[in-house]
């Protein structure tokens, strides 16, 4: 085989932008006395959707087991934008906002799968933890390299207004 017969090196596929974990249907036990999804179950739905996102980032069960690490949530912010009701299909989109050696900052959006509207957003900060010490620990080089690749792709996405949003009301003046 001559040098002109060589194939170019395989290019690694760019990370999905944004990442779309599997969707869900609103379950009967998630419905409250107002006839729509209870606020607590928005958190459950986002938490469930974050698992495949973290696996995709490189925090797979195999990685966690091999390195004896996990992630703990440090802070989350939920924005409830439109109600969803029993049996409605939901889809999610997740993006990496930032990271450092010990933390992952991400945003997930929940959409009504049928009508397409944005129902809620979930901004979260998680820390990387060594399970042997139950303390924050730096991520390994392979995980940091994956986060860098995802960050490069996700940095091009528009920044939603909800990111870093501060909660409050105007202070009354007397």
Terminal Cα distance for the chain, rounded = 86
Mean per-residue pLDDT for 156-174? Answer: 87
- Residue 13 is predicted with a pLDDT of 61
The answer to which of 62-66, 72-76, 82-86, 166-170 has the lowest mean pLDDT is: 166-170
Tell me the H-state helices in the chain. 39-57, 61-67, 141-154
Look up the CATH number of domain 17-154: 3.10.129.10
The pLDDT, as a whole number, for residue 167 is 87
* Helix segments in 32-132, DSSP class H: 39-57, 61-67
Percent of the chain with pLDDT over 70: 92
Is the pLDDT assigned to residue 170 strictly greater than 90? Answer: no
Give the model confidence (pLDDT) of 7-55 as tens digits. 444 445 668 889 999 999 999 999 999 999 999 999 999 999 999 999 9
State the CB neighbour count (10 A cutoff) for residue 14: 10
CA distances from 161 to 30, 36, 97, 112 (A): 27, 25, 13, 19
Residue 146 in contact with residue 154, Cβ under 8 Å?
A: no
Q: Looking at residue 171, what is its pLDDT?
A: 84
More confident residue, 77 or 167: 77
Domain ranges (residues) in the chain: 17-154
Question: pTM of the prediction?
Answer: 0.87
What phi, psi does 51 have (nearest 5°)? -60, -55
What pLDDT is attached to residue 84? 98
| Predicted confidence band of residue 172 (pLDDT cuts 50, 70, 90) | confident
Q: What's the pLDDT at 3?
A: 44
pLDDT, tens digit, 9 for 90 and up, residues 47-67:
999 999 999 999 999 999 999
């Amino acid at each position: 085989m001559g040098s002109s017969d060589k194939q170019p090196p395989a290019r690694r596929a760019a990370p999905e932008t944004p990442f779309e974990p599997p969707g869900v249907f609103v379950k009967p036990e998630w419905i409250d006395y107002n006839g729509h999804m209870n606020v607590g179950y928005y958190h459950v739905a986002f938490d469930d959707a974050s698992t495949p996102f973290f696996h995709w980032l490189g925090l797979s069960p195999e990685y966690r087991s091999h390195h004896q690490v996990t992630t703990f949530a440090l802070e989350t912010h939920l924005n409830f934008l439109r109600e969803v009701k029993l049996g409605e299909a939901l889809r999610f989109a997740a993006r990496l906002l930032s990271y450092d050696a010990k933390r992952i900052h991400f945003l997930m959006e929940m959409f009504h799968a049928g009508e397409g509207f944005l129902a809620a957003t979930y901004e979260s900060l998680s820390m990387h933890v060594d399970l042997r010490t139950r303390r924050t620990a730096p991520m390994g080089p392979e995980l940091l390299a994956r986060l860098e690749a995802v960050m490069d792709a996700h940095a091009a996405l528009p920044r939603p207004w909800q990111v870093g949003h501060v909660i409050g009301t105007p202070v009354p003046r007397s």
